[in-house]
Amino acid sequence: MSSDALFTPSLSTELMTVTVSDRAWLAAMLEVEAALAQVESRVGLIPGHAAEGIVAHCRVDEFDVAQLGKAAVRSANPVIPLVNALRAAVPKEAAPYVHRGATSQDVLDTAMMLIARRGLDLVIGDLGRAAAAAAALADQHRSTVMAARTLLQQALPTTFGLKAAGWLNAIVEARLELIRVRRTRLAVQFGGAAGTLAALSDRGLEVARALAIELELPEPVMPWHSARARVVELASMLGIAAGVAGKVALDVVLLAQTEVSEVNERAGPGRGASSTMPQKHNPVESIEILAAVRGVNASVATLQAAMVGEHERAAGAWQAEWPAFAETLRLAAGAVSRLASLLTGLEIDRERMRRNLDLTGGAIMAEHVVMMLGERIDRVMARALVDAAVASAASSGRPFKDVLGADPAITAQLNAAELAAGLDPAGYLGASSQLIDRALEAYARAGGDR
């Protein structure tokens, strides 16, 4: 994918676009070939001078990425033309030792793990920034009362701080899972032509162990050329991280609607502008996050499907992984990076939140009134009285609070002061503040934004 394409880079980041580029894949494959030569020399399988000659030519600039890509079409993978080109580049006496005991999948899968490690570091870092921004919002707005919405309808009062704390907790959990995957699920792949390491006789496991150490990747129990769970787990965790970003973005899009207008993305010259309507301020970061999430979903599904492969080397499924894997990293990075930016610059309208709470004339507090009445009369009767008041307010257009105050069956149980207190949204927030504290404490235990 060219870095100057019109559409695709806009959904990623510059750093991730470079990290999963064709040049980066080539560099990672060459890193594996160089490491293999070094460890095989170290254990005495190939001459030291041969290893030196191989390592000296494992440089990206010595190879034509585009030409290798064209040649890869003839062999259904890029390692074969790369190995041929590397053998042609190294000193003649070193050529027979290039790629010794390895197969194309060893090189490509291990290169994938190296790219994953670098890509995960970027995503984990941006999740840390997003978590820090969400934590600040949760703490700053723990008393900012707003309407909670279920099925897109006003339900009960909540606080924006609690909403942000929910975002925070989801971000922290996604970040911890990616850290776990980075530490425990990346692994070197080295099994030879069919997973037996037969070409290296009794030295195969020794080379695999040394290669893992050299590349600073865990050594798996067995070669995983036909067991693709670690690839799918990695992609799935990236999908979850992107999904977390998508959840926040969708909340912001809905809260930024003109008729709601409780939050907005930060303004700036030309930011969120329409091509024809000067008044528009579109939530562009949220929109791009949601677009990226849809792409991640498709790529993760491709990787999931690729788990089903034939015997010791899949025909087509393995090949389908490479672009899908790169796309998952690319788009997840775009979603998470924009999430951090979105939360950092989010503008909160406290007054609009309060006005929207009053849209139903107090009906948002109907549950609280039922609870209060239920402490003095039969709870079923309490619910019936409040249901009747809600229906009367809706049909007559009168404020719910006025209907309550005019119902003698209700005022016989709750006086005016009690009704006023019962209709105050700030008085019916339950454990919101404690839940915010718990989210902030969990964030601190997870290491904050480190």
Shortest CA distance to 40 belongs to which of 24, 29, 53? 53
Please enumerate in sequence order all residues whose Cβ is within 8 A of that of 117, keeping only pairs 6 or more positions apart, or say none: 182, 186, 217
* Inter-residue contact 107 to 28 (CB < 8 Å): no
1, amino acid identity: M
pLDDT at residue 236, rounded to an integer? 98
Q: What is the dihedral of CA 58, 61, 67, 71, to 10 degrees?
A: 10
Place of tokens 């979603």: 335
Instruction: Decide if 274 is catalytic.
Output: yes
Could you tell me the pLDDT band of residue 99, with boundaries at 50, 70 and 90?
A: very high
pLDDT 10s digits, 326-343: 999 999 999 999 999 999
pLDDT at 10: 74
Nearest-angstrom CA–CA distance, 85 and 244:
43
Range with lowest mean pLDDT among 5-14, 89-98, 133-142, 150-159: 5-14
Contact (Cβ atoms closer than 8 angstroms) between residue 303 and residue 253 = no
Q: Is beta strand 145-150 parallel, antiparallel or unpaired with respect to 153-159?
A: antiparallel
CA nearest 108: which of 322, 326, 327? 322
Q: What is the pLDDT of residue 266?
A: 85
Query: Which residue among the candidates 3, 10, 274, 396 is catalytic per the annotation?
Result: 274
Show the CA angle centred on residue 188, arms to residues 74 and 296, nearest 5°.
Answer: 70
The pLDDT score that the predictor gives to residue 271 is 67
Tokens of 317: 């499924």
Catalytic residue, candidates 313, 350, 352, 354: 313
Task: Tell me the pLDDT tens digit for each residue of 218-232.
Answer: 999 999 999 999 999
DSSP structure string for 269-312: TTTT--SS-TT----HHHHHHHHHHHHHHHHHHHHHHTT---TT
> Given a cut of 60, is residue 277 above it in pLDDT?
no
Copy the structure tokens of residue 296.
Answer: 């991640």
% residues pLDDT > 70 (the chain): 95
Average pLDDT of span 353-362: 95
Q: Which pTM was predicted? A: 0.94
- Does residue 182 have an active-site annotation? no
Given a cut of 70, whether residue 94 has pLDDT beyond it is yes
- pLDDT tens for each residue of 263-272: 999 876 656 6
Give the pLDDT mean for 417-439. Answer: 97
Question: Rounded to an integer, what distance in angstroms lies between the CA atom of residue 289 and that of residue 376?
Answer: 50
Q: How far apart are the first and last CA of the chain?
A: 32
Give yes or no for a contact between 161 and 144, defined as CB atoms under 8 angstroms apart.
yes
84 — pLDDT class (breaks 50, 70, 90) = very high
Q: Cα–Cα distance between 163 and 248 in angstroms, integer?
A: 10
Q: Which of 295, 285, 294, 300 is nearest to 251 (CA)?
A: 285
Among the residue ranges 75-89, 159-173, 275-289, 407-421, the one predicted with the least confidence is 275-289
Taking each helix axis from N to C terminus, what angle separates 432-445 and 160-184, rounded to the nearest 10 degrees? 20
Helix (H) or strand (E) holding 66: helix 65-75
